[in-house]
Amino acid sequence: MRTLGEALRAQTHEHGNRMHTAIALLELGRTRQAIDILVETSKQSQSLVDQVTARRDGDPTVGALLLVKASQAKERGVDWSADIDPDAPRSSLAPMDSIAVLGNLIDNALDAAAAAPVRWLRVMVSAAPNGGVVLEVSDSGAGVPAAMREQIFQHGFSTKPAGAEGRGVGLALVRSIVNEAGGTVEILDEPTTFRVTLPGARAPHAEMKAQMP
């Protein structure tokens, strides 16, 4: 809920900034510049909407999360890009678990990218060879030292100061959810990438068949 709340606040804030700027330009008689801002805003949102809706088996909850996270990245000055394979299947995770996994990975990547000289973040959703789905979140941050790659998944461990939202919970939750679903979490280098591989969702008729004696 915190992840969604922050993302929605960022989206509202970014949208408000652009609308206020466009209105001010109209009041100054700068109609062309106002139209350019509005058109660019529409293009950026529509591009991600098109990718999300192109997935035949996509989870609309994940699509909504990506839309608002894109606005959050913009607010923090991080260049955002998303590459969503239209053939990628739906994962086996429940919608709220999908939000927890992808939302926490993006939050960590945003923090890392925002602290780097060059700021960018990339999200990729693709089909896995075994019929599952691969989620990758890459960023321009400093990376994760080899000695800490196990520690960061431990509950309570964090390189950031404690806050009201808790400390060292996000990546521990990601691993817990992914492991329970029979998936894997990997950390890759150059660029820093968290890769989650999950089984694909089983079709309803397959579930019914598996439950038959």
The total number of structural domains that make up the chain: 1
Domain presence at residue 183: yes
Pick the most confident of 1-5, 17-21, 145-149. 145-149
Domain presence at residue 152: yes
Task: Indicate the DSSP class of residue 168.
Answer: S
DSSP letters, 89-152, are: PPBSS-HHHHHHHHHHHHHHHHHHHHTSSS-EEEEEEEE-TTS-EEEEEEESS----GGGTTGG
How confident is the model over 96-114, as pLDDT tens digits?
899 899 999 999 999 999 9
Domain presence at residue 208: no
Pick the most confident of 63-67, 74-78, 166-170, 196-200. 196-200
Rounded Cα distance, 93 and 134, in Å:
12
The domain that holds 192 is classified in CATH as 3.30.565.10
Domain range for 129: 2-201
Helix, strand, coil % in the chain, rounded to nearest 5: 50, 15, 30
The answer, yes or no, to whether residue 166 has pLDDT greater than 50, is: no
Q: What is the mean pLDDT of the chain?
A: 77
Domain presence at residue 212: no
Distances (CA, A) of 100 to 1, 13, 174, 176: 9, 23, 7, 11
Supply the pLDDT for residue 87. 84
Task: Report pTM.
Answer: 0.69
